[in-house]
Chain A
Amino acid sequence: MRILITGMGGAIGTGVAQKLERDPDNEILGVDLMPPRRHLRRAKFHLVQTGDISLRTTLIRDFDPEVIVHLGVYEPHARSNPLDSTRRTRAVTRSVFHAGLDCGSLRHIVVRSGIEVYGRERGTALRPDEDTPINPTSRFGRALAEVEESARAFSSLRDIPVTILRFAPIIGPYIPSPLGRYLRLPVVPVVAPVDSPIQLVHIDDVCDSTVAAVRARVGGVFNIVGEGAVTGSQAARLGNRLIVPVWGPGWQLSKLATAAFGSPLPEHTAEAMRRGQTADGSRAHKELDFVPARTTRECVEDLYQWASIVRVDVDRSAA
């Protein structure tokens, strides 16, 4: 099976490629604007800059994939600033679906999205399910909504099933995540007097669920969230961090302070910390037969067990 992975340079793209290349029948091509974060044995990778739409389109058309795994979705303040992340997400999404129109062998598309698309407007559900209408209230949420809309439009044009995976905030050691960075600060500002629950998903579960979606070939929308929930203050206390309860305008000041200490808080992360964000993940259990291996609490514990220096064994067999 020929599989195209956009965003292969990120932790998710690299992880998914590593898992898919274990199957000898899979031929994998990846494109991204950054090189992969781990060694890949068989998958081919092309470095393509954001603006080089013609190169990306040509590569995709020539490869003629059977499955496209669109992970070229860039979270603000993960590895790029909010403006660049939106621009990059939009450029990659447009060129992928544009090129996909000419791919005769294409049979299935898997798209990365997030539970930020539901938004957290006043009076809306804290724990929406996949049938809840989307109403994004942050820049990242709106960018994800655009990606989903493009995927649906493409699906109706080509009559190809599209699987949209809406992930909870992704956490794990070694991955650039604005929420992870924030929670690892020595002093963590939290909402006073009581903060709302958030759900997280571990990077390994994100990769496993994407692979499960590729194999299942079931179209539809699926929330992928770790079981259980924690509050921001609870997460910080589990990591033995000091918490500073803030309220009202104090939140704006604390955002400036955390940015000064290297942890800028994007709109969607601030929204989750202030208003909470969870989702119903039962549909993925039933239809994709996927249950996240780690609970939300285990994701937090894993985040705080991240050592400052990690020695990685080099895979010399591939050298």
Chain B
Amino acid sequence: MKWGFLTAPKHLVDGQVRLARCMASRFDGSYEIDSWGFDQEIHAALMSLGKARWDVVVDGLVNVPQTGPVLLAVQRRFGLSEQSVVSMALASAGRRVRRVGIPGPVVFEAPMRLTGGVMADPAEVRGLLRDGHVVAVPMRRSLISTSPGSLDPVVLEPAIDLGVPVLPVAVHGSELGRRWRVVIDPPVPPPMEDGRLGAIEMAGMAREAVDAVSRDR
């Protein structure tokens, strides 16, 4: 949205009202969380607040299946906004994103899980894909936008084993700015090998695909 800042106050109020409702449900235990610790209501509230902060333009949303599992290989520069921006981009298609990688000390784990964070562990990725979720795997940080970082092949293995499409996602924007652009490419072709070798091959192909998208910008 070009003039997104005009609607920002509306989204800000909406997000705060939703958050207040979430806090109220904490008092009587009436909220719902899933077995990964994800709370849909808190996620929806944060998406509203996100709309107040960022204007997100998405290209290639048609590449994301409307239902069923999908793994996103997401480009990361500073790593502060990219995952949230991608979550907002997919939320516009009615899909909630689970983000792989919970940083920092143990005390952050439960709050991060409330908003869709999971450990960078193949068991968690396998379970999410088996249950038909969208899983976003961040690439390693790279401050140069046209040279994306590498991907951890270990967390790609479940996608290969289960035959889940892996979509490269390039993210463009400035941490201090409002406007972000998310480009989702068609799925990376399946690797020739199975198991770890296939995952390494897949990681390389996904990185090359994000690299190509970034250069075409």
**How far apart are B21's CB and chain A's nearest CB, in angstroms?**
16
| Chain A residues in 8 Å Cβ range of B31 | 234
Give the A interface residue count (CB, 8 A).
Answer: 34
Chain B residues 103 to 162 lying within 8 A of chain A, measured CB to CB, are 106, 109-111, 113-114, 118-119, 121, 123-124, 126-127, 130-131
A280 near B127: Cβ-Cβ < 8 Å: yes
Contact B123 A132 (CB under 8 A): yes
Chain B residues with CB under 8 Å of A269's CB are none
Given contacts A191-B110, A195-B110, A237-B27, are A125 and B119 in contact (CB under 8 A)? Answer: yes
**Contact: A123 with B114, CB < 8 Å?**
no
Q: State whether A194 touches B27 (Cβ < 8 A).
A: no
Number of interface residues of B (CB under 8 A): 26
Q: Which residues of A approach B to under 8 Å, CB–CB?
A: 122-129, 131-132, 191, 193-197, 199, 225, 228-231, 233-238, 275-276, 278-280, 282
Q: Can you report 29 residue pairs joining A to B where beta carbons are below 8 Å apart? A: A123-B119, A123-B121, A125-B121, A126-B37, A126-B113, A127-B36, A127-B127, A128-B123, A132-B123, A194-B111, A196-B110, A197-B33, A197-B36, A197-B37, A228-B32, A229-B37, A230-B29, A231-B33, A233-B26, A233-B29, A236-B29, A275-B106, A275-B109, A276-B37, A276-B109, A280-B35, A280-B130, A282-B130, A282-B131
In the complex the two chains form, is A237's CB within 8 Å of B35's CB?
Answer: no
**Neighbouring A residues of B121 by C-beta, 8 Å:** 123-125
Which B residues contact A (CB, under 8 angstroms)? 26-29, 31-37, 106, 109-111, 113-114, 118-119, 121, 123-124, 126-127, 130-131
- Per DSSP, chain A at the interface is loop
Bound complex: CA of A204 vs CA of B124, how far in Å? 28
Closest beta carbon of chain B to A287's beta carbon, Å: 14
Q: Which residue of A lies closest to B125 (CB)?
A: A125
In the complex formed, the residue of A with least CB distance to B121 is A125
Please state if A238 and B29 are interface contacts (CB–CB under 8 Å): yes
